[in-house]
Every structure is written in structure tokens, then in C-alpha cells.
Chains A and B, each alone.
Chain A
Amino acid sequence: MARIGVFICHCGTNIAGTVDINGVVEAAKQMPMVVHAAENKYNCSEPGQALIRDAIVEHRLNRVVIAACSPRMHENTFRKTVAAAGLNPYLLEIANLREHCSWVHGDGKEAATIKAMELIRMAVAKVARHEQLFPKQVPLTKRALIIGGGISGIQAALDIANAGHKVVLVEREPTIGGRMAQLDKTFPTLDCSSCILTPKMVEVAQHPNITLLTSAEVKEVKGFVGNFEVSILQKTRKVDHTKCTGCGICWQKCPEKAPSEFDVGMGKRTSIYIPFPQAVPPKPVIDTSSCRYYKYLRFMEEKKEGKPPPQCRVCEKLCPVNAIDWEQKDEILTEKFGAIIVATGYKPFDPTIYSELGFGRHPDVITGLQLERMMSASGPASGEVTRPSTGEHPKDVVFLTCVGSRDEQRGRTYCSKVCCMYIAKHAIMLKEHDPEVQCYVFYMDVRTVSKDYEEFYKRAQESGTIYIRGKVSQIRQEDGKLIVRGEDTLLGEMVEIPADMVVLAIGMEHNPGAVELAQALKVSYDVNELFIEAHPKLRPVETMSDGVFVAGACVGPRDIPESVASGGAAAAKVAVLFSQDFLTTDPMVAVIDQMKCGGCLLCTKVCPFKAIDTQVLRDGRTVAVVNESLCKGCGLCVAACRFGAPNLRGFTQQQLLAEVTSLWQ
């Protein structure tokens, strides 16, 4: 027989100001199976909790109703309270008298009091049918997967590895380093980007706890926190990296050239290549689309007429360790992980859709990233900035901000955060390279929100850069110059600036494949296909998918310090997860009664967490089974099932029906 105690909280005046507490206590005493009802100023205070514990012992209570604030607030507090008095913590029900009653019915004390009584009556009816629930413990694999080898992925990998756990770092490109490796200098300190990045890249490569998989992509993710099973596609490199020593003879001798992805088209690379000299691993891959031998193979396969192209295979002949492997195929590796960090970063916005700016049409209109490669001392131009059309040094350079940012018409509503600052950096750098350069910046607003950023912007202005508030409507070519026409909204007139070079401050956008990855990981994403954190303020590196964390610019535009910080934060969360030997699972999950299951398996399609498996019973029937570690207790299967086979522990059909029925009794 249930012996229920009801504890009604004043919550100061939050509840007591609207609800007649004494009346509610008296009403609660009359309810079936209630043997004790009491009120308290604050149930959640330590004296309040002590009263509850004492009452449980004194009145031999075996069920407890707390009539107070939302269960989101204090359900866990009171579970601990009843557990301390020796009760199973799930023999507790919260009646929400604050958010559901007093706060929304402040104008009618009488009606609010009646509603409070009804809420308590429902909770009493439900708690009488509560059962003891016990959390389960599942083992976990203390091994982390990091997707993306940019600066935030690198930081996360190093932090987890230094905490003593194994890490696998998966990178889609042939090298780690990401976007930061492409940059020349970093604002606001003007540190050399690769000088501060490459030591970290080397540390990753040399760390005994880190396994590096480059030219690899995550294909499929199964399982749940602590026990993920991930299929990773290792793309063929045509070079056996276990043999290759990275001596470099192959890429020095390769006769075929192709545009370099790393230099965003500003330079060329060979067909067998490493993306840049400090690449990690320093071992090459063969680009089969441009390689002469593969051109020959395709020619023979298509049985084209005429003379076949040369077979080449120079790299194979010259390689001292026979590392070239033409037969190497794509491979799928399946590995187990306990946690996953997504650090897939961003893609620079493609400005060709701004047809009025003439990118791709005028060679002297380039993107910020292209200028960055040009400025880089180790880049294709060895740091010499020249006009792509003539090769002369530019004297007048115009920068345009917010290309692909803060533009609703182009579907990019957000600010990309870094562009204002990198323009200031470019202007300062250009002036340093050549004091005769005059820089102009067309801007909407200049946003300098972090430490030393405003001072850095000032420095750009003081170096002689002219900031013009307004947008550019047209760029045309005249007498070898680019005429930039825009409005100066502060002066209220149109201006035209003859420029040698125009630099577009392109924003950040999601990487291709972000949505597919988000779906595989069951992480939510927004309209811009950026990943969504579990809470934008309080849980910024967690996601709604337990055990999956996010770091860096895949969540939204971030600069290097923020990316590093979030990588480290995600690593800390993983370390906390790995500090446990077992994971405790929430027992309030769905269970399926196999006798009632008709095996239509509709629930397997409805379940958003893929938590329902099938099982063939000895009598030949196929039925659905809940994987309790994956189940989040959302109850969709319960609603979808005609057979009435699933039941949600803690919210069973019997409990809910009792709640509703109690209203008209």
C-alpha cells in the first residue's frame, strides 16, 4: 500500500503569494493514500530537505510528492533528498505549482488554489503507480575520435592525449593544419601563423597517444556515448606511408603540374605532392586526376583513338623505398570510441555569386585568403604582393567587407567575425611591405570585440588606411585599373576609386558535407548548416547527442583564440567523461513488452535516436527491442505503437492515465 507524503513549498512568496497554502495542505491530507501533508517556506533549503527526510522516516512514507517549482529546477535535488532517507529516488513526483500555476495565474488566488490542488491530486495519483527504478552501468571505451585536423582539432587532440587517453585524429585533406596553416600572420599580434602552428602539428605527429589518419573521412557512426562504432574511409593515396620516408625526390621530379588547393589557385603543385613544406605527415599523395600515369590508364580504358599519353611513372622509378603503390585501394576502418569531437571548421565563402564585384572575371579582384597566400613568405610568391594581371606592385588597394556576411539577400545573415580584423591586418602588412601603398576599406561597421582588437584597428587607420562607410555597387575595368564605385554613406555621395587590386573580405560558411556528418552523429544543425551546441551559453561545446562535442568554427564563425579555447574545452569535457570507469544510464527509458509487440517495426522508423533494434524470438516472431543506452526517453515509440507494446519508465501509460483520470474523480 502506498503511503504518500505531500510537501508543499511556499517558494517565498512565489507560490504562497498566489496560492492558499494552508488550504492546499488540508486538501492534500484528504487525498487517497496520502498519510502526511506539510508546508515549508523553501523545500529546497537544507532545513526544508531535512524536514522531508524526517517525515519519510517518521510516517514510514514510501512515495513522495513535492509541490514546488519546475522539475527542471530541482527534481535532482529532491531525488537525492528522498534517497538520503532510504527511498528509491524515482518514487518521487514533482507537482509544478510555480511555473504551471502561481506565476501564470497571479490575478486569481481562488482559481490558482483550486488548480494547485488538482495538480497535486494528479501527482498523487501518478506517484502511487511509480515503481523503483535503477540506473544501469555500461562500460566505456576510453578512446576519443576527433574529426578535423585544424587548430581546434589539434588542440583537442593534444589535450586529450596529454591527459593520458588514446586519440584518433581524422582529417579529410592530406595534411593537418587546416585554415590556420594557410594564413601568413595572425591578428592582432602579427605572429607568424605557421611558426606557432607547425610545432603543434609536429607534436601531434609524434605523440604516442595520437593516431593520425589523413586523407580520411568519417562515413558512419553507430552506438552511443562511451561505445561509438565509427566507420572511417581511408582514401587511397597511391603512396604506402609505412614505407615512405618523405625524402621528397618524387615531388621534386614529378613533371606534371596542377593548381594548388592549398594556395587557393595562386600557385601550382606537382601531381605527387605535399600541400606545403611543413605538412604533417610530410609524406606525399598522388592526385589521380592530374597524374600522367592515370591519364594514360584512363586513355587506355576508354580506348580512345590516337597516340596514348606517356606513362611517366617517374616517381615510381626514383623512389628509393618503393613506396609508390598503384594498386592501393580505398579502405574502410571500423574503430571503437568513447567520445567524438567534431572540429570540421569552415569553408571560405565563394564570392562568384556577387557578380557586380567581378570575382573570377577581373584577375585583380582576389579574396582575402588569396592575398594571404601571396603575402606568405613560404607561399607561391615568396611574400611578394603583385597584381595578378601585370605582375606589378599594386599602389592602390581597395578592400570590401562583408562579402558573404550580413547579407540577407544572399542567404548569409550572420557576421563572420574575423573579416574586419584581417582587413586591418592586410592593410598594415601592405603598408609595411611597401610604404607607397594606399589602402581603402569599404565597410558596413567595424567590429573589434576582443582584447587588443580595437587598438589594432586604430593602428590600421593610423597607418594611413582610409575607411569609407558604404557598400560597393560596381567594379569595372578602365585603362588597366579597376574602378570601384560605391556610396560613402557618411558623406552621402557616390565615390569612385581607381584601384590596382581589390580584395574581398570573404566570410565563413559551413564545410561541404556538414549536414551528412551532423545526421550521422545525430547532432542538430541550423539553417546555415552550422552545428548547434546543447546550450549556447552554459553548454557551448556539448551537443544534444551525448558523447559528441563540437569545437572551432563548425559551430559558427570563430577566430583562432576562440577555436583553440573551444578545442581545449571540448577536450576537458572528454577527459571528465573518461575519468569514469562506467557510465550510468538514465533508467527513465522505453521498454517494449515482447508479448504485445506485433513486429510492424514502425517504431524503428520513428525513433530519432535509432535506439530500437529487432530481435527474433524462439517462436519465430520478430519483435522490437530498446537499446537502453541509446534511448533518451522521448516517448515517440509509445505514441506510434498501435499494439501498446512500449512503455516509458517513469511515464508509463498506467501512470499518465491515472493522472488524467484523477481529475474527474
Chain B
Amino acid sequence: MSAAMDQTAQIRQKARELLENKVVDCVIGYERATDGVNARPLFVYEPEEADRLIFDQTCTHNLTRYLLNRKGKPTAIVVKPCDSRAINLLLNESQLQREKIHIIGVVCPGVVERQWRQASAKLLNACQVCQQHVPVIYDVLVGELPSEPTVAEHYPDVVEMEAKSAEERQVFWKEQFSRCIRCYACRQACPGCYCPECFAERLDPLWVGIRIAPGENEVWNTIRAFHLAGRCIGCYQCEQVCPVDIPLSLLNRKLEKEVLGLFNFQAGMDAETSPPFSTFKKEEKLGIGE
């Protein structure tokens, strides 16, 4: 617990400095929610407000999505290691200007599942298999580097799914998607979903029917997964915000695993490498379908 308190104190101090010195005009971080247990996003504009910032294992949100609304304005942001990959993704896709953002990276032991008005001790599934405990990009790092890296199978759920037959998987996903209410919360939370006009809302051509029906739901979820192929940074926000508990990250991380295997590429590990979709190497074509 002391480590978390230490991180909180450091974040507060850093945020105050940045605002006082007018390096940034906003710090995006976490504060305690009104239930007194969980965390919620906080936008700090005044130095004296900086003490509201916290960081502990309840800070589950990926805040990078908010950076898109602050284009061009100098902003500081608190990011966990998984969230930091989103910043690289957005830099690579020309959505952010590096010099306008100040990244307060936190060393993360994993965050816990959110429960209504009560503290939880159970690590998120994502965090149980996480291999990234230090942000991949930061200006200042808060927290101690972990002594030994976790070595775990990164895709245990994906591997388990792959073992099933095509029919079993189809039954599984049909059931999952049949519950989808197309609230688009997954899209709103995803740092990679920033199209000015989502294909789901386009009328000409009409890609997805407006009905909430199994067929349409499947199209929506499949196309969204493909739009994230080679781009998903594995932050699990989609899955966390889904009100009907569809395991969306299972779908997205299956594609992440494929892209990693075929092209040796993981989105967001740095801001420079061009995604496999936009490059072609002669040796690549040999790997596909084998």
C-alpha cells in the first residue's frame, strides 16, 4: 500500500509542477469516485486541485482516449503500461503531437476488477497475464521498477479458444453477439476507435443494418475487430465497459496474436514502426496461410 501512496504523492507533485510552470494546461488522471472505493477520471486545470489525484489498483480506465479531444493543447496524462501503448498507436497514426503531451507513466502491478461500492482484490484477467509492467513511452516514470518480470502465457484464453472446433466457436460467438445491444460503449472507450464517422452509422453505403438483430450484431462486432487488427493494444477497455459482458478482448487479442505471429508486430510498442498493413516485405507472403 505504501508504494501506491508513494505513487500518488509523486503524481500530485508532478502535476502541480507542470501546472504551476504552465508546461501544460490540463492534467488527466484519476481521483476517488463518490462511492469512496473506486476511481474515476479527473481533469486538473489548477495547481491547487492537484491533490485530488490518486493512483492505486482501482484505477482501471485507459485515459488516453481523452487526449483526442485535446488536440493541439498541451496536456499531461497519467498512463499505465497498457495505456501507454495507445499513445504510441495514436502518435503513429498522426492523431497526437508528441511535443504537446507530457506523459506521467506509472509502474503498474495490475488493477483490480471494479465492483459497485465495494473494494475488490481480484486482479483483472488481463492483468493476470500481463507482461508489461513499465510504460513503453513516458516523460517521467512514477514507481519502482519491478524486481522480476512476470513470465506467463500472454494469450491463455485465446489459446483455449483456438483449441475448440469451428462449430463450437461459432456457437459461442453467436450466443455472445446475440446479447449485444449495440450501445457502442466498446467503441466509445477504445483509443483506436476515432473515426469521424463510424461505419455503423453510415447510410450510403449501408454497411450495418440499424436493427438490433443477431446478423447485424455479428457484422458490427466483426468489422470492429478487423478495424482493430494489428492496432489493438490490449487495454481491455472494451470488455470492461461492455454492459452485457461480451468477451470482446478475446476477439481483438486473437487478431493481435495472429499479427504478432505473421508479421512480428505488436501495435503501440513504439511510435515509429509502420503497421504491417501499410508495408510489404517480400518474405511476408510466404508466411500467410501456412
Q: A-side interface residues toward B, CB under 8 Å?
A: 595-602, 605-606, 620, 622, 640, 642-644, 653-654, 657
Contacts and interface: CB of A to CB of B under 8 A. Distances in A.
B205 interface: yes
Contact of B227 (A605, A642, A657): A642
Contacts, number: 45
B279 A605 contact: yes
Contact of B94 (A620, A622, A640, A654): A622
Nearest to A622: B94
Interface stretch (B50-58, B114-122, B270-278): B270-278
A595 B275 contact: no
B183 interface: no
Nearest to B205: A657
B71 interface: yes
Given A620-B71, A622-B94, A642-B227, A598 B194 contact: yes
A596 B277 contact: no
A258 B196 CA distance: 66
B93 A600 contact: yes
Contacts of B72: 620
A509 to B, nearest CB: 21
B283 interface: no
A45 to B, nearest CB: 38
Nearest to B194: A598
B199 interface: yes
A141 to B, nearest CB: 32
Given A602-B275, A602-B278, A643 B195 contact: yes
Interface in B193-214: 194-197, 199, 202, 204-205
Contact of A598 (B195, B204, B275, B279): B195
A606 B199 contact: no
A654 B205 contact: yes
A597 B274 contact: no
A598 B195 CA distance: 6
Contact of B274 (A595, A605, A622): A605
A606 B278 contact: yes
A601 B92 CA distance: 9
B131 interface: no
Name the residue in B72, B94, B202 with the highest tally of chain A Cβ atoms < 10 Å from its Cβ.
Answer: B94
A605 B197 CA distance: 22
Query: What is the size category of the interface that chain B forms with chain A?
Result: 10 to 19
7 closest Cβ contacts across the A-B interface?
A: A605-B278, A600-B93, A657-B205, A643-B195, A642-B227, A601-B94, A654-B205
A601 B95 CA distance: 10
Nearest to B71: A620
Interface in B89-105: 93-95
A654 B279 contact: no
A640 B278 contact: yes
A599 B275 CA distance: 15
Interface string B68-98: 0001100000000000000000000111000
Interface of B: 71-72, 93-95, 194-197, 199, 202, 204-205, 227, 274-275, 277-279
A653 B205 contact: yes
Contact of A602 (B194, B199, B204, B277): B277
B95 A640 contact: no
Given A595-B196, A605-B278, A620-B72, A600 B205 contact: no
Contacts of B278: 602, 605-606, 640
Q: Find the residue from A600, A605, A640, A653 having the highest chain B CB count within 10 A.
A: A600
A415 B240 CA distance: 66
A644 B202 contact: yes
21 contacts: A596-B195, A596-B196, A597-B196, A599-B95, A600-B93, A600-B95, A601-B93, A602-B275, A602-B277, A602-B278, A605-B279, A640-B277, A642-B227, A643-B197, A644-B195, A644-B197, A644-B202, A653-B205, A654-B204, A654-B205, A657-B205
A601 B94 CA distance: 7
Interface of B is mostly: loop
Contacts of B227: 642
A602 B197 contact: no
A647 to B, nearest CB: 10
A657 to B, nearest CB: 4
Contacts of A643: 195-197
Nearest to A639: B277
B248 to A, nearest CB: 17
Given A600-B95, A606-B278, A640-B278, A595 B195 contact: no
Given A602-B277, A640-B277, A642-B195, 8 more contacts: A595-B196, A595-B197, A596-B196, A600-B93, A601-B94, A606-B278, A620-B71, A644-B195
A606 B274 CA distance: 10
A638 to B, nearest CB: 12
Contacts of B204: 654
Contacts of A599: 94-95
A642 B195 CA distance: 7
Contacts of A644: 195, 197, 199, 202
B271 to A, nearest CB: 13
B93 A602 contact: yes
A481 B205 CA distance: 82
A524 to B, nearest CB: 14
Contacts of B94: 599-601, 622
Nearest to B274: A605
Nearest to B204: A654
Contacts of B274: 605
Contacts of A622: 94
Contacts of A595: 196-197
B106 to A, nearest CB: 27
A653 B203 CA distance: 12
Contacts of B197: 595-596, 643-644
Contacts of A640: 277-278
Nearest to B72: A620
Contacts of A596: 195-197
Contacts of A657: 205
Nearest to B202: A644
A653 B72 CA distance: 33
Contacts of A653: 205
A297 B278 CA distance: 48
Nearest to A605: B278
B95 to A, nearest CB: 7
Contacts of B71: 620
B282 to A, nearest CB: 11
Contacts of B196: 595-598, 643
A527 to B, nearest CB: 11
Nearest to A614: B94
Contacts of A597: 196
A588 B71 CA distance: 35
Contacts of A605: 274, 278-279
A73 to B, nearest CB: 30
Contacts of A606: 277-278
B188 to A, nearest CB: 15
A76 B107 CA distance: 65
Nearest to B199: A644
Contacts of B93: 600-602
A419 to B, nearest CB: 31
Nearest to B231: A642
A605 B276 CA distance: 11
A643 B279 CA distance: 19
Contacts of B277: 602, 606, 640
A606 B276 CA distance: 10
Contacts of A642: 195, 199, 227
Nearest to B90: A600
Contacts of B202: 644
B225 to A, nearest CB: 12
Nearest to B89: A600
A643 B197 CA distance: 7
A643 B192 CA distance: 12
Contacts of B279: 605
A654 B196 CA distance: 19
**Residue among B72, B197, B202 with most chain A CB within 10 A:** B197
